[in-house]
Amino acid sequence: MKKILIIEDSKDLAFGLRSNLEMECYEVRVAETGPEGLHQATVFVPDLVVLDLMLPQMNGFKVLESMRARRLDMPVLILSARSEEIDKVRGLRSGADDYVTKPFGLMELLARVEAMLRRGETSGRGKPEADDGNLRLRDIEICTRTRTVSRHGGAVDLTPKEFDLLLELLRHEGAVVSRIDLMKTVWGHSSTIVSRTVDTHIAELRRKLEDDASNPTLILTVRKVGYRLVQEEP
């Protein structure tokens, strides 16, 4: 049985989410504060975390950053009334896998949860098959066994989804990959879901891996289609 942790201070919302998720045969725990949520993420070790941002004692951003610092890499779905783009970007930069804005449709939320868990099952969080576990892309070294990345000999801190996205682009060996295909393969979403999530993650990858993120040469945009990875130096 898959385990889900809900970190949400609204008792009514947490109760409703828990009831519906338990009807879908998930094992669910609820934490009402940031510190309690971080503790439960450590001891309960859920397969997925649903995380509110506006929490007492420790906000959701801090909880997420602390989780990733502790190498808790389970998928995290942010659930928040804060709909501003800057909050979504900050959440993704902190290591979130997806972001749903309140108010939301219950069926959509359940579909996203199912997709995120299914993606984790089928991809092993994006780990590819490799003979020695090491890949090289220009001046970037990728270790698939430890899921670590370095550039010019220095460590590059990628979130789990950024790592998965980089590997998915690399697998296509320079071919164009559409946003819809990336949403399906990396996030597990159906093709009917439209999201800025891919674009935001691409922007973060460029910021961390390109010499000049405003003039990328590694990850190129193919207008109205998607993205492609250029392995050769320009």
CA–CA distance, 225 with 198 (Å, rounded to integer): 12
Task: List Cα–Cα distances, 200 to 39, 41, 57, 85, 203, in angstroms.
Answer: 29, 26, 29, 10, 5
CA–CA distance, 62 with 95 (Å, rounded to integer): 11
b (16+ CB within 10 A) / e for 74-102: bbbbbbbebeeeebbebbbbbbbbbbbee
pLDDT value, residue 87 = 79
Three-state DSSP class for residue 17: helix
Q: In order of start, what are the domains of the chain with their CATH numbers? A: 3-123 (3.40.50.2300), 134-229 (1.10.10.10)
Q: What is the mean pLDDT of each run of 10 residues along the chain (234 residues)?
A: 95 94 94 96 94 93 90 88 76 83 85 82 44 78 88 89 91 89 80 69 93 93 91 78
b (16+ CB within 10 A) / e for 194-226: eeebbebbbbbbbebbeeeeeebebbeeeeeeb
Q: Which helix (H) or strand (E) holds 150?
A: strand 148-151
pLDDT value, residue 80 = 80
DSSP 80: E
Task: List Cα–Cα distances, 81 to 7, 84, 95, in angstroms.
Answer: 14, 9, 19
Q: Phi and psi dihedrals of 25, rounded to 5?
A: 75, 35
105 Ramachandran zone, left/alpha/beta (phi>0; psi -120 to 50):
beta
pLDDT value, residue 23 = 92
pLDDT value, residue 108 = 84
pLDDT value, residue 177 = 92
Provide the token pair at 175.
Answer: 């071919």
Task: Please enumerate in sequence order all residues whose Cβ is within 8 A of that of 128, keeping only pairs 6 or more positions apart, or say none.
Answer: 144, 167, 171
Task: Please enumerate in sequence order all residues whose Cβ is within 8 A of that of 118, keeping only pairs 6 or more positions apart, or say none.
Answer: 188
Three-state DSSP class for residue 34: helix
